Amino acid sequence: MKRVLADLKGHLMSGISFVLPLIIGASLVVAIPKMIALGMGITSLDPYADTEGFKHALYLIEQVGWTGIGLINTVLAGFIAYSVGDKAALGAGFIGGAVASSTNAGFLGAVIAGFLAGYLVKWAKEHIKLPESFAGVMPLVILPLIATLSVAIVMGALLSEPLAWINTSLVEWIRTMIENDVNKILLAVIMGAMIGSDLGGPVNKAAWMAGNVLLAEGVYLPAIIVNVAICAVPFGYALATLFHKNRFNKELLDAGRNNFIMGFIGITEGAIPFTLVNPLRLVPINMLGGAIASGLGIALGMYDKMPPVGGIYGFFTVGNGWAYLIGLFAGAAFIGFVAPLFVNFNKQEEQTEDIALDDIEVSFEN
């Protein structure tokens, strides 16, 4: 069972790694024309859809970005299927993801479609044997047909309505939470702590994906919440090497300088070399730092006004961007001051549990 779960997690992470550049690129293509328009005193480019000139060009560029955001589920399902069943499953995965979007089955539907297409192709490869003369037909006709037809039946006829209900209910629940000030802060604290927990592992990725897949549903605040924490954790260790230089060896001092860049662009994995010194003490500190960053940002009034961009520079895409920055630096300062008080980074401290390097996943977030 452990092996099965590990395989499922690996395939899901593979799909997420492929969709990550799409989310970043599409969000930037939406954000850039919006920021230019805001600088011109224009709050929405929609009125310029049928006009001409520079403002119409900005509208067209923005629409390209929205098209990219609309492909999130399609790409995610396709590359989950590809990870499981290789090229023969790719087309069926794309189709399943597109169906998930068109039927409002959302992220959950895309994940199910990807695994369904991938594992059906994998099963067919192992169990369907054709004569040697028909070997070329298998990858080009038989496998895509089996996978696509099965996805069509399951996603189109059987699960489309229940998955749409689940997805719609989940999105509405999140919308309701972020409309209430107390619940919104609670959500931010939880998601920020998840980002700081395992630094690119499944809990971190679950929080990141939960925030970013909602972009396709027009819900942007969860993505802002995770972006703040993503920057705060590595930036915190960069500050720690400034506040307490005598408690770090040369290798970690160098890593601390690199973490100014990691924190600026939003890569939580920059904190891994520090956290490995004593995970039992430092993981809770990372979680508290992430929770402080996200929770304080929300408490001070940061809000969504467009699909957000990650990194410290992402405050330009956030309403009350100053709250984004204050939350980020408060979470980072907490880690920077507290972590060296609990751990001497000059030496490898005795750990109460073994952490294998193979258990640490490195992936890039924005």
pLDDT tens, position by position, 188-233 = 999 999 999 988 777 888 888 888 888 877 889 999 999 999 999 9
Q: Where are the alpha helices (DSSP H) in 40-86?
A: 54-69, 72-85
161 and 184 co-located in one domain: no
Does residue 366 belong to any structural domain of this protein?
Answer: no
139 and 10 co-located in one domain: yes
Instruction: State which residues form the domain around 328.
Output: 180-359
32 and 110 co-located in one domain: yes
312 and 235 co-located in one domain: yes
Does residue 244 belong to any structural domain of this protein?
Answer: yes
Which of 166, 188, 219 represents a domain boundary (last residue)?
166
Does residue 119 belong to any structural domain of this protein?
Answer: yes
pLDDT for 333 beyond 50:
yes
pLDDT for 89 beyond 80:
yes
269 and 337 co-located in one domain: yes
**Is 328:296 a contact under the CB 8 Å cutoff?**
no
- Reported as a single tens digit per residue, the pLDDT across 272-308 is 999 999 999 999 999 999 999 999 999 999 999 888 8
Query: Residue 356: which pLDDT band, with cuts at 50, 70 and 90?
Result: very low
**Is 225:297 a contact under the CB 8 Å cutoff?**
yes
Does residue 214 belong to any structural domain of this protein?
Answer: yes
In this prediction, residue 231 carries a pLDDT of 95
130 and 100 co-located in one domain: yes
Whole-number Å distance between alpha carbons of 188 and 180:
12
Backbone angles phi, psi at 105, to 5 degrees: -75, -20
Q: Tokens representing 93? A: 């995965």
Contacts of 121 (CB under 8 A, 6+ apart): 81, 84, 85, 86, 88, 89, 92, 143, 146, 147
Contacts of 108 (CB under 8 A, 6+ apart): 100, 163, 166, 167, 170
Which of 166, 195, 229 represents a domain boundary (last residue)?
166
71 and 196 co-located in one domain: no
Does residue 235 belong to any structural domain of this protein?
Answer: yes
259 and 347 co-located in one domain: yes
Q: Tokens representing 130? A: 């054709």
350 and 258 co-located in one domain: yes
Q: What is the DSSP letter of 139?
A: I
Q: What is the model's pTM?
A: 0.77
In this prediction, residue 355 carries a pLDDT of 41
Does residue 327 belong to any structural domain of this protein?
Answer: yes
In this prediction, residue 348 carries a pLDDT of 54
Does residue 57 belong to any structural domain of this protein?
Answer: yes
221 and 254 co-located in one domain: yes
Contacts of 224 (CB under 8 A, 6+ apart): 211, 297, 302, 304, 308, 314, 318, 324
**Is 230:268 a contact under the CB 8 Å cutoff?**
yes
pLDDT for 107 beyond 70:
yes
188 and 295 co-located in one domain: yes
- Reported as a single tens digit per residue, the pLDDT across 35-81 is 898 888 887 888 998 888 999 999 999 999 999 989 999 999 999 99
344 and 195 co-located in one domain: yes
Contacts of 351 (CB under 8 A, 6+ apart): 278, 279, 280
Which of 131, 166, 201 represents a domain boundary (last residue)?
166
For the chain, what is the domain count?
2
Does residue 364 belong to any structural domain of this protein?
Answer: no
